[in-house]
Structure 1
């Protein structure tokens, strides 16, 4: 029904003059509410017609109607209409929004504070918001969230927080938040521009707060949608504010559930790092807003911003080492340990190039001079660039024996604003030889007596085509390849002679 046809019966202005002690009149920052048994009558501040900001009856009527219209999509049976506020003689003095009064204690924040399990409620909210976003107007080409605007918004937030640097907020923390945010934005220009052109910047809610979401038996009612000039944002930014609220209230698990459920119901995947960036931004803005009046809350919010920026970091992880050192196993575990990491294996890329070269000599030759090896590393870094620019952490499993390839990886990290992490797996020649012999034997068993050995690392070393399974031969091979490999002084050494879990924990501490 059009808002113009939803006028309620006139209500007397005297309702708002009752003493507030009985709970009938409640004041907020921007409104004065009168509570009845089943209704809430909301008048916008200021109430006095003599004040310049009163703006006139027609303007206030339009504002009330606009509030009803913008909130009905997420709470159609709550925002009932607009009523005239009249004096004792029936003369219209003002206008009020009429809302259905919702049961106390059913706000999402209240449920969380009582310590109950709210998984179902969080999922219901995520479903409602995802459906709402699907109907929202997009902002194609508006520049609302283009790279320059994102940088400007972050700079505004950092500047606001810096006003409390060294007093309410730790100076080092504010500085590190700024550094991490700028590092993320530096290499993500194409991705942020793509968010606009891809239709992910929309006229959303703009103010999703846990105190304004009522969880009823038949689904959530989401109130207090922001006015038009505060609503256009990336859909992840819209959801991020509610995630900050849940985390501030002590439930990072529910915040994560909200984001996972939102993506599920939206039917699309967004970069995890971008989620963390938006949460960090919302948390920092909130911290600066409350810092003057609520220092402890501001510090908690700044800590949330920092932790999510740490998780948003885009990293290029080189996992290298000679064949038999366990690098492939380690790289796989590192990738599986976090859903936001992409694994690229040199063996798979090299195998494709080798198959394209008919009659390729697979004997163990000086690997760094191999044309296929050069093509392999060029392809590895080209694939990595796409993912890094899109906000994904990339793990490349290769030998990285050639310093030229490592230098190219370092350039890629700088160009994409990624953090470069270099891990070199090492073990004794005897352990490596035993691993290679076992792997060779397993491949022979899988492919039959004619199967060729494929002892590859991205160093370019591959089997001779004739099975070689003795540990002695493998040990000799490992020592020879150790002499070929160029020094790698910038890498963290991961000792893989220890149990696999211990080696993984050492590597994860470098990557996390």
Structure 2
């Protein structure tokens, strides 16, 4: 395979790359991947028939997420003392033929060089959400994606790690996994029953994601074990969330999760996300451990560093601070959406947008699609806040802080969310975004001309808001962080801009706000709180999961 004469095209200098289960030969404009006859523990590739089937599966399964990358499966024939690709001779192996690409476009390479961008991450999130929406759902076996099978998979990884790794935190992490599996088994099986177990990629680490011909592509999916590919879509995205956190930083990881949630609407997935993130981190620890057993001392040292990094990710995920709820407040054009989305990336909070959810409620997939005035009546407006209240409940109960991006110009809406915070024992704060009226109007005009925003507000909307907005009460003002937004957009990405908010999220108060210098909105406005209590009861977990199922279909 390292001879140019083996190939039917100009091969140039042939490069050989070996992993723990495969060998790739880079020859000219193409790459040829051969599966090694090994049994690394999670699969057995020793039989030639198994390797051939895996090659054929790679071709079929990878094409949906990596267009034009996979070209075919070729038999490697022996004729005398030589081997070549063709139909004459005795087949001794099979190879997957792929187009060769520059490794600099891999997300792993981009992350190392600091060139991986928010645009890349957004593209990956949209691509995965679109694939998850249309992925096959009829699993070959009913047990795929079940709580019992997931427990067996996680326990197998933990047993292997504790048998081969000397790391004091691994038993603690394994015990945490066991607790989570016991507590979340009903949710795991509930999502499986509701259709969230689908034919996924299954191996979404940064080495398998790249920029490719103007879009983000994912390749080298799991092809050797259906049980590792037919999984909950939350399990699939969690791998990339975890690996971005480990290798590219929390900001890009947070952005990916929020962008996927925004595109999919599957906020109920958050209940299981910490478990899946820890599981995926442990998988990478095991892979690094296997790598450390072979190769040079420098490669073994690099693998040990990788293992330590993934253990840190797993350990950190088991110890997160209590959540808080942040309510954006401000007129259209105040910059609250751009600013709060940046805050979500810095803080790890989940970002909920009234503009996005209003369109989702109307089954409008395109952010730039426009809604008419009938969708902005008082009744329609209350329905959007009702929906946001249900989503915020889901996010907070999953243990995530939440940023609710809406105008919150009416006291009744603010009161309802403060009542939710009191009910859940969660601290609530208002983020008040400010700009002069002429700046607001100018921004709205620019946004309307560009048509790249989910907001439908125009200057007439702004005029109505300015005339009818109910100002913050004295008690609410005491719980408000004010932000002047007439600053360079880049300022929103700086932790210093959000210093007080980030400190709150990192170390939230133990008790929710009350009226004596804090806030207790049910006491302050029991009529509004009671009304929204009734609305909230209709957004319980089962109903929300049903809505999520419909959204991702």
Q: TM-score range by the shorter chain?
A: 0.5 to 0.7
| 1:330-372 deviation digits (Å, cap 9, x = unpaired) | xxxxxx9985699xxxxxxxxxxxxxxxxxxxxxxxxxxxxxx
2:218 equivalent to 1:219? no
Offset, 1:198: 1.4
Q: 2:240 aligns with which of 242, 248, 253?
A: 242
2:287 equivalent to 1:280? no
Distance 1:507 1:104, change over 3 A: closer
Q: 1:305 aligns with which of 308, 311, 314?
A: 314
Give yes or no for contact 1:107–1:210 (8 Å, CA) kept in 2. Answer: yes
1:1-12 to 2 correspondence within 5 Å?
A: none
Aligned mates of 2:249, 2:114 — CA distance in 1: 10
Question: Hey, what does 2:61 align to over in structure 1?
Answer: 70
Offset, 1:189: 3.3
Shifted more, 29-38 versus 59-68: the winner is 59-68
| 1:458-509 deviation digits (Å, cap 9, x = unpaired) | xxxxxxxxxxxxxxxxxxxxxxxxxxxxxxxxxxxxxxxxxx9999689715
1:43-54 to 2 correspondence within 5 Å?
A: 43-46=34-37
| 1:304-337 deviation digits (Å, cap 9, x = unpaired) | 01211223x88899xxxxxxxxxxxxxxxxxx99
Aligned mates of 1:399, 1:71 — CA distance in 2: 45
Give yes or no for contact 2:124–2:216 (8 Å, CA) kept in 1. Answer: yes
Distance 1:46 1:188, change over 3 A: closer
2:160 equivalent to 1:160? yes
Give yes or no for contact 1:287–1:302 (8 Å, CA) kept in 2. Answer: yes
Q: How many residues align?
A: 340
- The normalised TM-score by structure 1 is 0.55
Aligned mates of 1:502, 1:213 — CA distance in 2: 31
Aligned mates of 2:209, 2:420 — CA distance in 1: 50
Structure 1 unmatched runs, 5+: 1-9, 318-335, 343-382, 401-408, 410-419, 424-454, 456-499
Offset, 1:107: 0.6
Structure 2 unmatched runs, 5+: 39-43, 81-87, 293-302, 326-343, 353-389, 402-416, 428-474, 476-499, 513-553
Question: Hey, what does 1:144 align to over in structure 2?
Answer: 144
| 1:360-413 deviation digits (Å, cap 9, x = unpaired) | xxxxxxxxxxxxxxxxxxxxxxx9xx969963579996999xxxxxxxx9xxxx
Distance 1:37 1:136, change over 3 A: same
Aligned mates of 1:28, 1:159 — CA distance in 2: 23
Q: Which of 1 and 2 has greater Rg?
A: 1
Aligned mates of 2:395, 2:53 — CA distance in 1: 48
1:467-478 to 2 correspondence within 5 Å?
A: none
Aligned mates of 1:238, 1:75 — CA distance in 2: 16
Aligned mates of 2:175, 2:95 — CA distance in 1: 47
2:32 equivalent to 1:41? yes
Give yes or no for contact 2:22–2:34 (8 Å, CA) kept in 1. Answer: yes
Give yes or no for contact 1:75–1:222 (8 Å, CA) kept in 2. Answer: yes
SS at match of 1:220: strand
Aligned mates of 1:276, 1:14 — CA distance in 2: 51
Give yes or no for contact 1:191–1:390 (8 Å, CA) kept in 2. Answer: no
Aligned mates of 1:95, 1:104 — CA distance in 2: 24
